[in-house]
Amino acid sequence: CRNIHFTGIFGTGMSALAQYLRFQGITVTGSDRLLASEDTSSIRSSLEALGCGIYSQDGSGIDKDTDVVCISTAIEESNADIAAARASGLPVIHRSDLLAGIIKTKKTIAVAGTSGKSTVTAMIFEFLTACEKSPSLISGAPLRRLKKQGLIGNAFCGGSDLLVVEADESDGSIVQYKPELGLLLNIDKDHQEIDELMKVFGVFKNNSRFFVVNQSHALARQLSKDVQQDFSTNPDINAGYVATDFHQQGLTISFKIQGVPFQLNVVGKHNMENAVAAVTIA
């Protein structure tokens, strides 16, 4: 497949995939209903700078060279792009199907949980980059360092087989992902009921070759595979990596992980939890 069209290309998840495939040399086109909006002009400019062809959402972006059309949950079956794809006999796939396929091709770290995913995904990517591991990235939020390079900031292609992805559970598509290493930060009622989330994350656990959970979170703890690969922010709860001695002064926090001092220019104990998760993965 060498030519993919994204319907709703300005969406966070869709634009990340579109960029990643362009980095791989695949021809990318896309459409969006917010094509004329000033709010999306910077996204459009960044995508076009990478060589993506941007069209109105009227089916005109799909031609004889298009191999497949990718959509998200937000796209209705009545959309003109889908009608054009059906008329041409082209396959229409969901964003999660495409991401699942990409995950299989890499040594992927998939970050899951009902909160904190974007922050921890960014932290892991930064840690691995600083250690010269040259990771790739598919995230749900932009990184400022990547934006300074002229990118949208939610995708990057590194030189190694390491890929860090944000794995969203909101539509249940996370069950398709089979990463090398799965990370579960927490489980709270958000897009779905707790019972359903436990099932979804249980499948994610079984699909991950290695699995890391937050032992400080009672529900996440229930899905642990190996406590020595897990992390905790409570010294009374056993885990392979434990964060202690939290202190906040102004806009800076300090703490220790396994006795090693850390300092971050962010606030809140939740960011210590995010950091120990990322350190554990790294």
Distance (Å, whole) CA 120 – CA 277 = 7
Distance (Å, whole) CA 262 – CA 278 = 13
Side chain identity at 143, as an amino acid letter? Answer: L
pLDDT digits (tens, 9 = 90+) for 82-103: 999 999 999 999 999 999 999 9
Instruction: Calculate the alpha carbon distances from 223 to 65, 171, 194, 261 in Å.
Output: 45, 20, 13, 29
3-state secondary structure of 145: helix
What number is the average pLDDT over the span 258-265? 96
Whether the pLDDT of residue 251 is over 90: the answer is yes
Please check whether residue 100 is in contact with residue 176, taking contact to mean a CB–CB distance below 8 angstroms.
yes
pTM metric for this prediction: 0.94
pLDDT digits (tens, 9 = 90+) for 122-157: 999 999 999 999 999 999 999 999 999 989 999 999
Q: Rounded to the nearest 5 degrees, what angle is found at the Cα of 18, between the Cα atoms of 16 and 19?
A: 65
Whether the pLDDT of residue 51 is over 70: the answer is yes
Helix (H) or strand (E) holding 41: helix 41-49
Q: What is the predicted pLDDT for the residue at 190?
A: 64
Residue 191's pLDDT band (boundaries 50, 70, 90)? low
| Residue keyed to tokens 């191999």 | 67
Q: At what angle do helices 117-130 and 269-281 cross, to 10 degrees?
A: 50
